[in-house]
A and B are shown apart, each in its own frame.
Chain A
Amino acid sequence: ILNVEQSPQSLHVQEGDSTNFTCSFPSSNFYALHWYRWETAKSPEALFVMTLNGDEKKKGRISATLNTKEGYSYLYIKGSQPEDSATYLCARDDYKLSFGAGTTVTVRA
């Protein structure tokens, strides 16, 4: 993998359902992976910084895992709510951030 890639590009979730999506990144010379949530007309908000293989982080109903050997991270949203609607960006940390294109989540009430 040469670039940071995210899939799917977008997804629609029924309120109350759980969902997850993927970030793939080059695994060589890895320092950290960042997850951001970006709501329309707001600043991207930092969710997690993950550094160690096997890391699991949790913030409320949102959690993330990290596999640095194979170069992927999953973000999970449990019991989706309308306020979870946003674009979720992952970024590989090379002091400057290399972002994926994001996964746009729309939660239907």
Chain B
Amino acid sequence: DTGVSQDPRHKITKRGQNVTFRCDPISEHNRLYWYRQTLGQGPEFLTYFQNEAQLEKSRLLSDRFSAERPKGSFSTLEIQRTEQGDSAMYLCASSTNRAGQSYNEQFFGPGTRLTVL
């Protein structure tokens, strides 16, 4: 399967614990995005990497959240001291620049569903 993969698919944790999620993008894609979806809402942008550089972070991303893409390939999203409000679906997407293409076609993984008890 050459699509975007995410691990784990589900995570249940207790409030105050740290969690880390992994995303493996499509191999030739240089851009990687993290989104979060809560019940009844659409996915909301969290952060964006071009290669290994983190170029933008949403104000939704509190200091407890950190994302890395150390070698410009896979990415990790860590949440420290989880709170019940962090319960959500965390989606990863990847894309690539195409010459002459004005839009940004993003391919999504299946997400990691986090439940904080």
Binding site for B on A (CB under 8 A): 4, 6, 31-32, 34, 36, 41-44, 46, 49, 51, 89, 91, 93, 95-102
- Are A32 and B104 also in contact (CB < 8 A) when A96-B33, A96-B48 are? yes
Identify which of residues 33-50 in chain B touch chain A, using a CB-to-CB cut-off of 8 Å: 33, 35, 40-45, 48
Binding site for A on B (CB under 8 A): 3-4, 33, 35, 40-45, 48, 56, 91, 93, 102-111
Closest to A87 in B: B42
Query: A interface, by DSSP: helix, strand, loop or mixed?
Result: strand
Closest chain B CB from A35 CB (angstroms)? 12
Contact status A97-B56, CB under 8 Å = no
Contact status B110-A43, CB under 8 Å = yes
- Are A101 and B42 also in contact (CB < 8 A) when A32-B103, A43-B3 are? yes
Cα–Cα distance between A93 and B111 once the two chains are bound (Å):
20
- Report the tally of A-B residue pairs with Cβ distances under 8 A: 61
Contact status B43-A97, CB under 8 Å = yes
Closest to A45 in B: B108
Cα–Cα distance between A5 and B103 once the two chains are bound (Å):
20
Cα–Cα distance between A102 and B41 once the two chains are bound (Å):
8
Contact status A43-B103, CB under 8 Å = no
Contact status B56-A96, CB under 8 Å = yes
Contact status B45-A41, CB under 8 Å = no
Contact status A97-B45, CB under 8 Å = yes
Contact status A49-B105, CB under 8 Å = yes
- Are A42 and B104 also in contact (CB < 8 A) when A99-B43, A100-B42, A102-B42 are? no
Q: List 28 A-B contacts (CB under 8 A).
A: A31-B102, A32-B103, A32-B104, A34-B103, A34-B105, A34-B106, A36-B108, A41-B110, A42-B110, A43-B4, A43-B108, A43-B109, A44-B43, A46-B105, A46-B106, A49-B105, A91-B42, A96-B33, A96-B45, A96-B56, A97-B33, A97-B45, A97-B104, A98-B45, A99-B44, A100-B42, A101-B42, A102-B42
Chain A residues within an 8 Å CB radius of B110? 41-43
